[in-house]
Amino acid sequence: MKKILLGFVAGMAVTASGMWLVMPKMMIHEHESPLGYEETIAKIKSNIDGTKWEISSVGILDKKLKKKYDKTIPATTLINFCHPEYATAVLNDADAQKISIMMPCTIAVYKKPNGKTYVSTMNMTLMGKMFGGKIAEVMGGAVADEEKDFTTFLHK
């Protein structure tokens, strides 16, 4: 009986360790852009324009940190966007309101020391599955599907 219990505990520890190592890679998608930094930002903004999504802000983080705090980071821009219908559906559900901490949706564009431009997004499908309910329905469904359209040029 002790061997079975010890085996079970060891199996759980290995599984938990594996999840700890894999989850960060699963939660955030990072792709190298075939375009330059400014072109990548312009392409994403262009892909959002003309949809039912609205760009709520474009934060040029490196310039803000330099100007306000005299801190230097690599070129980094955060594109925040929102879909009024999806936001309303989630925020009018009391059990789903907690996800407002992750709203609006954000796409990050940044340069790494290798000089290449990268784009990162949240894995909305996985996030939806983790939370379930209205969050799974909206964020893990339509939001995940439509957000991919904004970055399709990264997958060609």
Please give the pLDDT value at position 19.
Answer: 53
Contact between residue 89 and residue 103 where contact means Cβ atoms under 8 Å apart: no
Q: Quote the CA–CA distance of 8 and 84 in Å, as a whole number.
A: 47
* pLDDT at residue 59, as a whole number: 97
Instruction: Report pLDDT digits (tens) over 98-152.
Output: 999 989 999 999 999 999 999 999 999 998 888 899 999 999 999 999 999 999 9
Rounded-to-integer distance, Cα 140 and Cα 130, Å: 9
Tell me which DSSP letter residue 51 carries: S
Contact (Cβ atoms closer than 8 angstroms) between residue 99 and residue 130: no
- Domains of the chain are 29-155 (3.30.310.70)
pLDDT of residue 67 exceeding 60, the answer is: yes
Amino acid at 79: I
Q: Return the pLDDT at 38.
A: 98
What are the pLDDT digits (tens) for 10-58? 566 555 555 555 556 778 999 999 999 999 999 999 999 999 999 999 9
Residue 4 is predicted with a pLDDT of: 72
Per-residue three-class SS string for 110-153? EECCCCCEEEEEECHHHHHHHHCHHHHHHHHHHHHHHHHHHCHH
User: How far is C-alpha 32 from the geometric centre of its chain's CA atoms?
Assistant: 15
pLDDT value at residue 150? 95
Instruction: Please tell me which residue, 9 or 77, carries the higher pLDDT value.
Output: 77
Opening angle at CA 106, ends 104 and 108, nearest 5: 160
How far, in Å, CA of 10 to CA of 19, rounded? 14
What local confidence, expressed as pLDDT, does residue 155 receive?
A: 83
Tokens coding 78: 């955060």
